[in-house]
Amino acid sequence: MASVTSSELMAKIVSLCKRRGFIFQSSEIYGGLNSCYDYGPLGAELKNNLKQSWMNAMVREHDNIEGLDSSILMHPKIWEASGHVANFVDPLVDCKTCKGRFRADQLEMATCGLKPSKTPKTCGGEFTEARSFNLMFKTFMGALEDQSAVVYLRPETAQGIYVNFLNVMSTSRQKIPFGIAQIGKAFRNEITPGNFIFRTREFEQMEMQYFVKPGQDEAELERWKEIRLKWHLDLGLKANKLRFHQHGPKELAHYAKAAFDIQYEFPFGWQEIEGLHNRSDFDLGNHQQASSKKLGVFDEETKSTYTPYIIETSVGCDRVLLTTLVDAYDEETMAGDDEGPRVVLRLSPKIAPVKAVVLPLMKKEGLPERAEKIMADLRKNWRVQYDESGSIGKRYRRADEAGTPFAITVDQEAGTVTVRERDSMKQERISESNVVEYLRKFLN
Ligand code: ATP
């Protein structure tokens, strides 16, 4: 891709997302709601594919990992026991000069309200002392709006897993070590949301909590680091854009004994896309104490009861989706083309929202009928689209921008079609009856 600045690249991705129906600003017709986004037709497909890939990698590929779908609203005591009421805080500073409000530990990621080319650190503004700001959204349950009716929108899905630990273990007859995987919405009243869907106040997490015997936690954390990195690589992300970052003592969350982030190099720098934590017995221990319910496990070998340790893998679905878009976005200048560079999303076929587009060369001579027959076969297997409007070149470009890996063109040569591959643009003529089998090689 010809060199573009990092902010230009993000602007191009945001514009593509809107233009092609990946992502829209929430409440757009009312002027938009800051940091909230809606997934359009292509975005919803891409997101579903990512979720499916994660669930398969967790539950289908591991006999000892079970799925769960717990509620967003939970007993408020859960958030006291988990430490979130006291500790889920970020340091907040106000700028007396521009009246902006910023996260004190992330000033380099924000922009000054008066001097947009500067960060709050470098703009010369006068700051207040940092104070703690709790990130949990509060609401009321029932008709009374008083303190006794306060409930929280969950800031992570993990707690729903911990409080169901015994339910899942006993009903699925699992034994330690085993895991529980869940995908669901989480809410954080972030001080400085931004960078499109990178940091929002409502987002979706994919979390797997793995329960192990104390003493096996460190080895399990190492094992899960490798498994999770491989998942990101299997999505097609470039290896040189991924790395681990180990949390130093000051970075560790209140529940963590050790933590690693998987980071990706975004146009705005290296940032976390997934967190892996050794949460020790912090969570089950605290819930056991606060609820007075026994959450220990009996060890047949030692004939004693212990509280399992937890290895957590937690990845933001929206953040991974942004990562796949950033990683896949490309522009290619083509010789003799006066339409400008070809924009192509080089998404892995496994996660591409639409797997193939079927293009009758003309709207006559029986070509649409042959194309419709191919559509009917493909539709049984994958999400595919039909496109008969505009020149064939324009139609290829539309498909390239949407990340559609294959374009099947039906022309006058009866019994055969051409298949064009998105990245190489190479075309191959194959038998019309062989299209499903041909694509299956690449898609499954
Ligand atoms: P950060 O340091 O970026 O605030 P975190 O360390 O608080 O993230 P975790 O609590 O470990 O994040 O959450 C696990 C994952 O959830 C993150 O790696 C990220 O992918 C996702 N995530 C967390 N907060 C947000 C958010 N505000 N918007 C979108 N995704 C988020």
Pocket test for ligand 1, best of 51, 88, 109, 199 (most atoms within 8 A of CB): 199
Residue 3 predicted with pLDDT over 70:
no
Name the DSSP class of 42.
H
Q: Is 195 in the pocket of ligand 1 (CB under 6 A)?
A: no
pLDDT computed for residue 290 by the predictor: 97
Strand partners, 90: 133
The more confident residue out of 116 and 343 is: 343
Specify the amino acid at residue 257.
Answer: K
pLDDT computed for residue 103 by the predictor: 85
Triad 54, 60, 62: Cα angle to 5°: 100
Confidence of residue 279 (pLDDT cuts 50, 70, 90): very high
- Total-model pTM: 0.94
Q: How far is CA 33 from the centre of its chain?
A: 20
Confidence of residue 34 (pLDDT cuts 50, 70, 90): very high
Residue nearest to atom 19 of ligand 1 (CA): 316
Confidence of residue 72 (pLDDT cuts 50, 70, 90): very high
- The mean per-residue pLDDT over the stretch 50-72 comes to 98
Q: Is 154 in the pocket of ligand 1 (CB under 6 A)?
A: no
Determine the Cα–Cα distance for residues 22 and 30; give it in Å rounded to an integer.
20
Residue 98 predicted with pLDDT over 90:
no
Domains of the chain: 40-75+145-325 (3.30.930.10), 354-443 (3.40.50.800)
Q: What is the mean pLDDT of the chain?
A: 95
Specify the amino acid at residue 199.
Answer: R
Percentage of the chain beyond pLDDT 90 is 82
- The mean per-residue pLDDT over the stretch 162-185 comes to 97
CA 225 to ligand 1 center in whole angstroms: 17
Residue 192 predicted with pLDDT over 90:
no
pLDDT computed for residue 119 by the predictor: 87
Residue whose pair of structure tokens reads 């922009």 in the numeric block: 111
Q: Is 277 in the pocket of ligand 1 (CB under 6 A)?
A: no
CA 316 to ligand 1 center in whole angstroms: 6
Does an H or E element contain 249, and which?
none
Confidence of residue 100 (pLDDT cuts 50, 70, 90): confident
Determine the Cα–Cα distance for residues 224 and 207; give it in Å rounded to an integer.
12
Residue 2 predicted with pLDDT over 70:
no
**First-to-last CA distance in the chain?**
29
pLDDT computed for residue 23 by the predictor: 98
- The mean per-residue pLDDT over the stretch 5-20 comes to 93
Confidence of residue 142 (pLDDT cuts 50, 70, 90): very high
Q: Which tens digits make up the pLDDT trace of 220-266?
A: 999 999 999 999 999 999 999 999 999 999 899 888 999 999 999 99
Q: Which tens digits make up the pLDDT trace of 254-264?
A: 889 999 999 99
Confidence of residue 5 (pLDDT cuts 50, 70, 90): confident
* 236 phi-psi bin (left φ>0, alpha ψ -120 to 50, beta other): left
Residue nearest to atom 20 of ligand 1 (CA): 316
Residue 435 predicted with pLDDT over 90:
yes
pLDDT computed for residue 111 by the predictor: 82
C-beta of residue 241 within 8 angstroms of C-beta of residue 265: yes
- The mean per-residue pLDDT over the stretch 382-388 comes to 97
Name the DSSP class of 60.
I
Residue whose pair of structure tokens reads 């015994």 in the numeric block: 166
Q: Which tens digits make up the pLDDT trace of 398-432?
A: 999 999 999 999 999 999 999 999 999 999 999 99
